Structure 1
Amino acid sequence: MSAAALILAAGPALADDWQDVLDEARGQTVYMHAWGGDERTNAFLAWVGDMLQDRHGVALSHVKLSDTAEAVARVLAEKTAGRDEGGQVDLIWINGPNFLAMKDQDLLHGPFVADLPNARYLDLSPQSANSVDFTTPVERMESPWRLAKFVFNYDAARIDAPPPRMETWVDWAAAHPGRITHPDPSNFMGATFLKQALVELAPADADLTQEPTDAAFEAASAPLWDWYDALRPHLWRGGQAFPENQSVQQQLLNDAEIDVTMSFDPASAAAAIRDGLLPETVRVHVPEAGSIGNVSFVAIPYNAAHRAGAKVVADMLLDPEVQAHMQNIDVLGSFSVLDPGLLDADARAAFAALPTDPALPALEDLGPVLPEPHAGWMTRLTAEWQARYTR
């Protein structure tokens, strides 16, 4: 029996069980701990909150984080203190090392994704991006809600498209001194820049899907550090200072101090142009070999006080109407995690009718998705960069 047929066969029982979840969730306030650094994302979550209240009587409180590790630390502290019920964190927007840390320390509730009615629109096969987070099997303990893909944004009025491969950035930067930089790698965007370079430059026999040993890290990262040593003198401010985050870097592009920025959101350029934060001539560039991509997830801590409400929120984020609203460039512009082949005709038509924009790439323009390295690589890359370049 196919996966779709299994879902349909399980429909009535699932519906009965889900009604119990809805009944329990009504009247709950779900405290969703999520990065709060993007106003469009914040506004979208507020809109989702309005829908939750209207449809299910569930309130959504967005606890804005500067770093997801803050929420992980809170759950860990509660477990250490023996607070196994009534936790302060109901739902977390989480990825990569933070998910791995919670999974390894038994801080997650789950598996729960297969119980969500709107999961029928997802590809949950083992090979799907919805089933793996930075090479760590999700095992349905976190629910996808939007796609992310690393891209470069550049001002086409000042330069042609950036170099097609990371290895050619050194020559380009030497010819355009001071016109490119990256966020400090303590920020996930700066770390992603290093990971993109690692994926492209590492020896062919390097296995980035495994937790790196000392020897494996040294061998795989050696070409990266040689490349970075050559690149650094040509960066903005001679590679002696770095923007704190993506927003600061974007302001540098808007102020014409640099010509290229980077983002994990292919719609960020179009969104910023519409908000008057970037010139209309900014466009999106994807490396020739493709770029790192992943899925953004939400997870429920093991001791969440409002577990039923958290499941209702996770399910609402997968509603085709919500996903289409999210993908609308006038709203957020983030690409949907739903499988178009599992949608009905009305839902497919809603996606087809979404507005376009000169600075918004089509999904097919984004090239191959390069898988995230194991979470341990980012941790080591960040620490090694700090040791090498901040002394």
Structure 2
Amino acid sequence: MPPSLTAALVAALFATPVLADTWQDTLDAARGQTVYWNAWGGDERTNAFIAWVGEQTSARRGVSVRQVKLTDTAEAVTRVISEKAAGQDQGGSVDMIWINGPNFLAMKEQGLLHGPFVADLPNAQYLDLSPTSANSVDFTTPVDGMESPWRLAKFVFNYDSARIDAPPASMAAFVDWAAAHPGRFTHPDPSNFMGGTFLKQALIELTPDASVLQQPATDANYDAATAPLWEWYDALRPNLWRKGAAFPENQSIQQQLMNDGEIDMAMSFDPASTAGAIAEGLLPETARVFVPEGGTIGNVSFVAIPYNAANREGAMVVANFLLDPETQAHMQNIEVLGSYAVLDPAKLNDDARAVFDALPTAPALPDLASLGPTLLEPHASWMDRLTADWAKRYTR
């Protein structure tokens, strides 16, 4: 938290609301529990944040957290499936999972989740849980209260402001910009997640009816939905870096091209990554973030509780703590994690908003308002077809 805020003031700002009897029962049952949080362990800043969460919940609620570091979320899903097959419907080894997309869908369809529970969390009052909110839909699968959000990821572009006065205002405008600046833009190969996301972002803007993207891609709907995309890409490709004959393998290589001055723009799924890259000397100090008008694709990281979790109440306490405005502000601090909050600013009081406003900033760190709306991810089948179709059309 900002050093100017005393501990007493912070406590006053984020005082716990009056608890319903049922939540007090949850708190009482949770005290003394240790929550085994199965979470991807590949990022040290995230690991440090999870450790901090455990320190806080232990001190405040008597609930400890132990991170079970995963290389693939499917490891935890498989463990729960195995326990169900063995008839272990209580005392399971997985209390909480950082989960998204296909893994959530698999657990939901197989009845492997506890819930719905999100509406029972006192701090859910700060969320936008409308049906089309990114907090309510996980890669086109309705959440239905079976997982709780905790951090936001969003697709952004970055550019070198020393060489670009005004970046393209829309995906359609990339064609004219590239024609005026040939060879100065590229994207990762669409076989990489970031390159595929670039195509999805353009598809959402250019397709005649974006709502169809929330349904599976089929032979019946695919061609009509993607025809404007390929027309746009055919016009863009000749003016790409190396005339569209080669593409950087991933985001990191594209960022290096930008840092070396070969291109003027790159892209990321982390709005804070540009400021972080500048601090590490991986991008010029003149790098800045922009998004097209109308917003960009985003998705929320969730936590879910398996149906047989041994420490279910403790997991609910941790999920609720992750939604506390104090926690979300700490997480959004670029010196801590830099992940954007999942809370709805309109649901925060003035004191809570002031704490977010007082967070450390940097010239290349955008505020949430400047990132525009969060657009829902298309159904996963669109990504599969898009990348295969791109390879067929543009590689030999």
TM-score (normalised: structure 1): 0.83
- Evaluate the alpha carbon distance shift between residue 347 and residue 194 of structure 1 in structure 2; reply closer, same or farther with a 3 A threshold: same
**Structure 1 match to 2:215:** 210
Paired AA for residue 369 in structure 2: E
* CA distances 1:243-283 after superposition (whole Å, capped 9, x unpaired): 44433433332233332111222222122223333221000
* CA distances 1:304-323 after superposition (whole Å, capped 9, x unpaired): 45434432332221122111
Quick check: 2:156–2:290 contact (8 Å CA) kept in 1? yes
**Structure 2 match to 1:14:** 22
SS at match of 1:129: coil
**Within-5 A mapping of 1:222-241:** 222-241=227-246
- Evaluate the alpha carbon distance shift between residue 215 and residue 83 of structure 1 in structure 2; reply closer, same or farther with a 3 A threshold: farther
* CA distances 1:107-141 after superposition (whole Å, capped 9, x unpaired): 33321212223223223343433222233221011
Paired AA for residue 104 in structure 2: F
SS at match of 1:273: helix
Structure 2: distance between partners of 1:210 and 1:189: 22
Structure 1 position 240, deviation (Å): 5.0
Which sits farther off after the overlay, 307-316 or 260-269?
A: 307-316
Matched, 1:33 2:39: yes
* CA distances 1:312-338 after superposition (whole Å, capped 9, x unpaired): 332221122111111222223322222
Structure 1: distance between partners of 2:189 and 2:365: 26
Structure 1: distance between partners of 2:200 and 2:75: 23
| Alignment partner of 1:112 out of 113, 117, 120 | 117
Quick check: 2:209–2:225 contact (8 Å CA) kept in 1? no
**Within-5 A mapping of 1:238-253:** 238-253=243-258
Matched, 1:362 2:370: no
Quick check: 1:33–1:89 contact (8 Å CA) kept in 2? no
**Structure 2 match to 1:190:** 195
RMSD: 3.1
Paired AA for residue 34 in structure 1: W
Paired AA for residue 136 in structure 1: T
| Alignment partner of 1:143 out of 143, 148, 160 | 148
Quick check: 1:91–1:298 contact (8 Å CA) kept in 2? yes
Structure 2: distance between partners of 1:266 and 1:88: 35
Which sits farther off after the overlay, 131-140 or 305-314?
A: 305-314
* CA distances 1:170-229 after superposition (whole Å, capped 9, x unpaired): 343344444333334344322221110110111247622222322111211122233334
Paired AA for residue 215 in structure 2: Q
TM-score (normalised: structure 2): 0.82
| Structure 2: gaps spanning 5 or more residues | 1-15
Structure 1 position 370, deviation (Å): 2.8
SS at match of 1:166: coil
SS at match of 2:255: helix
Structure 1 position 295, deviation (Å): 2.6
- Evaluate the alpha carbon distance shift between residue 313 and residue 205 of structure 1 in structure 2; reply closer, same or farther with a 3 A threshold: closer
Quick check: 2:33–2:311 contact (8 Å CA) kept in 1? no
Matched, 1:99 2:104: yes
Q: How many percent of aligned residue pairs carry the same amino acid? A: 69
Structure 2: distance between partners of 1:21 and 1:30: 16
SS at match of 1:361: coil
SS at match of 2:341: coil
| Alignment partner of 2:64 out of 58, 62, 84 | 58
Which sits farther off after the overlay, 381-390 or 108-117?
A: 381-390
Quick check: 2:154–2:270 contact (8 Å CA) kept in 1? yes
Matched, 1:321 2:326: yes
Structure 1 position 155, deviation (Å): 1.1
Paired AA for residue 313 in structure 1: V
